[in-house]
């Protein structure tokens, strides 16, 4: 058996077409979606993201700014920049690239973002609303939201399914735990202290992996026909982008997201979608 490839590029294209239409309508009403990205230092995964995001934001004619600070930027400098964008009415969405260099307090930086402009849904107020299932008018992390869109596009149903989420980051694992639970899946969150990961993943109908370790998930760890979602972004020895899932998993899985071309393009498309949504909320407009 060969897994059906979940085409993130094609799905992202559909969403981007909708986003272009919504941006056109908002711009006619005098609202240009504004996205500010703050990157400190030179994390390689962040560099890919910033480049692709810039390209897409320009294509959609957003008001897009990227501030690249040196790796030794101070905490006060980063927070001052966040506060400047909090107060700027032309900016509706603020994204601080993760990870920050280790001398910076990521928690304090996230807390400084106005929750209404927190396009990554990292602020505890937004993450808390997601867990509490209060309303739908708050931002949710773009990668998790993009994965939910992919599952829905491929009509992969969630109620009662056993999902194993490998990785518990604030950006991916934690929001997905809430989103999948809210969608009535039975979710197990696995991480570096999990014992016998293979036994756990073999019991899953859906395995999602966001760890950042090439070949972490191998074919013996997957139940035949299972859905495998690869969020990994690693570079191999020859500089090629690879995920966390080994190549031979495609021989047993029912569905598989490729890297590149799977989750990555969905993250970008969802970021654009959510920036538009935040712009509409902040200006009393409705997008449909």
Ligand X SMILES: Nc1nc(=O)c2c([nH]1)NC[C@@H]1CN(c3ccc(C(=O)N[C@@H](CCC(=O)O)C(=O)O)cc3)C=[N+]21
Number of residues that bind ligand X (CB under 6 A): 22
Per rule CB under 6 A, is residue 45 in the interface with ligand X? yes
Least Å distance between CB 248 and ligand X?
Answer: 20
Task: Provide the 3-class DSSP secondary structure of residue 217.
Answer: strand
Q: Does 206 bind ligand X (CB under 6 A)?
A: no
Which one of 42-50, 174-182, 189-197, 274-282 is the stretch in contact with ligand X (CB under 6 A)? 42-50
**Least distance from ligand X to the Cβ atom of residue 113, Å:** 10
Rule CB under 6 A: choose which of 31, 142, 190, 227 binds ligand X: 142
Helix (H, G, I), strand (E, B) or coil at 207: strand
- From 48, 69, 111, 189, residue interacting with ligand X (rule: CB under 6 A): 48
Contacts of 157 (CB under 8 A, 6+ apart): none
Q: Per-residue string for binding with ligand X, 239-278, x by CB under 6 A?
A: --x-----------------xxx--xx-xx----------
- Residue 36 interacts with ligand X (CB under 6 A): yes or no: no
Contact flag: residue 211 with ligand X (CB under 6 A): no
- The H or E element containing residue 241 is strand 241-242
Q: Does 233 bind ligand X (CB under 6 A)?
A: yes
169 is in an annotated binding site: yes
Q: Which of 234, 236, 241, 239 is nearest to 260 (CA)?
A: 241
Which is catalytic among the residues 97, 274, 277, 282? 97
CA distance linking residue 185 with residue 128, whole number of Å: 19
Q: Closest separation between CB of residue 259 and ligand X, Å?
A: 6
In the complex, what is the shortest distance from the CB of residue 120 to ligand X, in angstroms, rounded to a whole number? 5
Helices (H), ranges, 29-169: 44-59, 75-87, 106-112, 124-132, 142-153
Q: Is 98 in the site for ligand X (CB under 6 A)?
A: yes
Q: Tell me which residue of 53, 15, 89, 7 sits closest to 273, measured CA to CA.
A: 15
How are strands ordered across the β-sheet holding 206-209? 4-5, 255-256, 227-230, 206-209, 162-166, 186-190
Helix segments in the chain, DSSP class H: 8-28, 44-59, 75-87, 106-112, 124-132, 142-153, 173-182, 197-202, 263-283
Does the annotation flag 167 for ligand binding?
yes
In this chain, which residue has its C-beta nearest to ligand X?
264
Active site residue 247: no
- Strands of 93-96's sheet in order across: 63-69, 34-40, 93-96
- Decide if residue 146 touches ligand X (CB under 6 A): no
User: Which residue in 22, 63, 97, 242 binds ligand X (CB under 6 A)?
Assistant: 97
Pairwise CA distance, residues 57 & 129, whole Å: 28
Nearer to ligand X, 31 or 173 (CB): 173
Identify the bridge partners of residue 67 per DSSP, sorted by sequence position. Answer: 38
Positions in 100-129 near ligand X (CB under 6 A): 120
The end-to-end CA distance of the chain, in Å, is 40
Contact set for ligand X, span 165-204 (CB under 6 A): 171
What Å distances lie between residue 219 and 12, 222, 225, 254, CA to CA?
A: 28, 6, 11, 12
Annotated binding site: 167-169
By CB under 6 A, name the binding residues for ligand X.
Answer: 45-46, 48-49, 52, 95-98, 120, 142-143, 171, 233, 241, 259-261, 264-265, 267-268
Annotated binding site for NADP(+): 167-169
Active site residues: 53, 97, 120
């Amino acid at each position: 058996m060969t897994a059906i490839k979940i085409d993130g590029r094609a799905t992202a294209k559909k969403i981007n077409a909708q986003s272009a239409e919504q941006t056109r309508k908002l711009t006619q009403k005098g609202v240009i979606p504004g996205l500010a990205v703050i990157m400190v230092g030179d994390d390689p995964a962040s560099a890919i993201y910033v480049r692709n995001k810039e390209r897409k934001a320009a294509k959609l004619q957003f008001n897009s700014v990227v501030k690249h600070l040196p790796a030794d930027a101070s905490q006060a400098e980063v927070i001052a920049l966040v506060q400047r964008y909090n107060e700027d009415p032309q900016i509706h969405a603020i994204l601080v690239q993760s990870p920050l260099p280790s001398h910076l307090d990521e928690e304090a930086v996230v807390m400084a973002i106005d929750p209404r402009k927190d396009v990554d849904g990292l602020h505890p107020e937004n993450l808390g609303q997601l867990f509490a299932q209060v309303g739908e008018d708050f931002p949710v992390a773009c990668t998790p939201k993009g994965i939910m869109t992919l599952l829905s596009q491929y009509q992969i149903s969630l109620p009662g399914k056993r999902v194993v989420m490998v990785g518990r980051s604030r950006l991916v694992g934690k929001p997905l735990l809430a989103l999948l639970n809210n969608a009535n899946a039975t979710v197990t969150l696995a991480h570096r202290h999990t014992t016998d990961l293979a036994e756990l993943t073999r019991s899953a109908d859906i395995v999602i992996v966001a760890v950042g370790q090439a070949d972490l998930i191998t074919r013996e760890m997957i139940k035949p026909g299972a859905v495998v979602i690869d969020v990994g972004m690693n570079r191999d020895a020859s500089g090629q982008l690879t995920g966390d899932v080994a190549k031979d998993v495609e021989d047993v899985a029912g569905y598989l997201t490729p890297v590149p071309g799977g989750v990555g393009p969905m993250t970008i498309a969802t970021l654009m979608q959510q920036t538009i949504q935040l712009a509409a909320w902040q200006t009393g407009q409705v997008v449909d």
